[in-house]
Amino acid sequence: MDIDSIKREFPIFDNKVQNNDLVYLDSANSSQKPRVVIDRIYDFYSKEFSNVGRSVHYLAVAATNLYENTRTSVQRYINAKDKNEIVFTKGATEAINLVANTFGQKYLEEGDEVLLTELEHHSNYVPWHFLRNSKKIKIEFAEINEAGEITIEAIKNKITNKTKIISVTHLSNVTGAILPIKEIVELAHSKNIPVLVDGCQGAPHLKLDMQELDCDFYAISGHKMYGPTGIGVLYAKKKWLDDLPPYQGGGGMINEVKKTGISYGELPNKYEAGTMATAQVIAFNESIKFMEKVGIENIEKHEKELLDYGLDILGKNNSIKIVGNPINKGGVISFTIEGVHPHDIATILDEDGVAIRAGHHCCQILHEKLKLPATARASFGIYNTKDDIDQLSQSIENCKKIFNI
């Protein structure tokens, strides 16, 4: 791959940050956008805009077709069996809330258990916590091992006859651990337990095949896949979408409305109430095409090379402690420097144009387990190079000099 050529497709890298070339190492937070995605939003609003699924005039029909084309592209990209198993949401957070609310409403009762892990992002904990308050369910956590990963044994040890659903991340946004999703699903299904996967970090970096993974639900965030903000995807097996109640009420999700009752629309309209983020959905199609053009296998290979290089370079620095050492790891390196708060690290690195994340990364439970108030995190995207990691390393040295380390 010609990474320099790919990088030129992202306009943001034409700009300077603090009078330096931008070194963007925060893709686990949100990825940058290629020009085709940005231009698609502009073109839709300026030349093609209409609401979808409502009117029969030319613009409305054309917009509806474009909107549905994205659904077909998502189906192909994740190898879902049916395009109607693709539900558009405003993000992965809403996708998880959709499942927690509808599944919880229909199937969870007082004393039932939901099994999570200690790696979970708040988006895959807080919605279940709401049910703990409203329906008196219990939440159990599979524990990480010393490498910062979740083993199949850790899941197995926490399953009881009260476990009603398992909800786990695909790839940790802190330790980078890639969970054995297929094995977890096989174990869960042997006990008739459905599985939801938080794919925020999985979808941009790993090859997905819903029919092979066989999970019941998979949540995707568009803005981490080189796509717009405000768009996400819930993949759900058709049997669940048919069975579960609607999540929100309003226009677009109904079939017939009378004073005496309401019937709901066919899938996936049943779960897409109101005016959707049409421009974002249509532009998301361009981000999928972009990733398909590059090739997910090439993305995985490139990010693995960056990860190995970064672990080697940073691992040689005695002042740096890398957080987690999972066997299967994605392109995330979280670290600490003794005597320097992660926020100070990030602030000083920013002066060199190096953008990283600092804090608890919406994973306070994990950081509490690690006995760390916060960590610094460098995360990779397709536009990153080994030169970016060299600049990261040099900026860390500058940081150490400031703190006399």
Q: Assess whether 170 and 260 both reside in one domain.
A: yes
Q: Assess whether 287 and 309 both reside in one domain.
A: no
- For position 259, what pLDDT does the model report? 96
Q: Assess whether 199 and 337 both reside in one domain.
A: no
Q: Assess whether 65 and 132 both reside in one domain.
A: yes
Q: Report the distance separating Cα 323 and Cα 333, nearest Å.
A: 7
330 found inside a domain: yes
Q: Is residue 185's pLDDT more than 90?
A: yes
* Per-residue H/E/C for 231-268: CEEEEECHHHHHHCCCCCCCCCCEEEEECCEEEECCCC
Q: Is residue 405's pLDDT more than 90?
A: no
Region 234-261: what's the mean pLDDT? 96
Q: Report the distance separating Cα 244 and Cα 92, nearest Å.
A: 18
Catalytic site residue from 200, 215, 362, 363? 362
Split into its structural domains, the chain has a count of: 2
Q: Report the distance separating Cα 146 and Cα 1, nearest Å.
A: 36
Region 126-154: what's the mean pLDDT? 97
252 found inside a domain: yes
- For position 55, what pLDDT does the model report? 92
Q: Assess whether 393 and 322 both reside in one domain.
A: yes
Give residue 251's domain range. Answer: 38-292
pLDDT tens digits for 187-224? 999 999 999 999 999 999 999 999 999 999 999 999 99
Mean pLDDT score of the chain: 97
253 contacts: CB under 8 Å, gap ≥ 6: 246, 264, 265, 269, 270, 271, 272, 273, 274
CATH, residue 72: 3.40.640.10
Region 382-397: what's the mean pLDDT? 97
Judge if pTM exceeds 0.95.
Answer: yes
Question: Among the three residues 292, 315, 347, which one is the final residue of a domain in this structure?
Answer: 292
Q: Assess whether 10 and 64 both reside in one domain.
A: no
pLDDT tens digits for 304-338? 999 999 999 999 999 999 999 999 999 999 999 99
Q: Assess whether 221 and 353 both reside in one domain.
A: no
- For position 182, what pLDDT does the model report? 98
Determine what percent of the chain is predicted with pLDDT higher than 90.
Answer: 98
pLDDT tens digits for 15-72? 999 999 999 999 999 999 999 999 999 999 999 999 998 899 999 999 999 999 999 9
**Residue 200 bears catalytic tag:** no
Question: Among the three residues 260, 292, 324, which one is the final residue of a domain in this structure?
Answer: 292
Q: How confident is the model at residue 1 (pLDDT cuts 50, 70, 90)?
A: confident
Q: Assess whether 231 and 374 both reside in one domain.
A: no
pLDDT tens digits for 45-55? 999 999 998 89
Q: Assess whether 271 and 335 both reside in one domain.
A: no
Cα-based torsion angle of the residue sequence 129, 166, 28, 179 in order, rounded to the nearest 10 degrees? 150
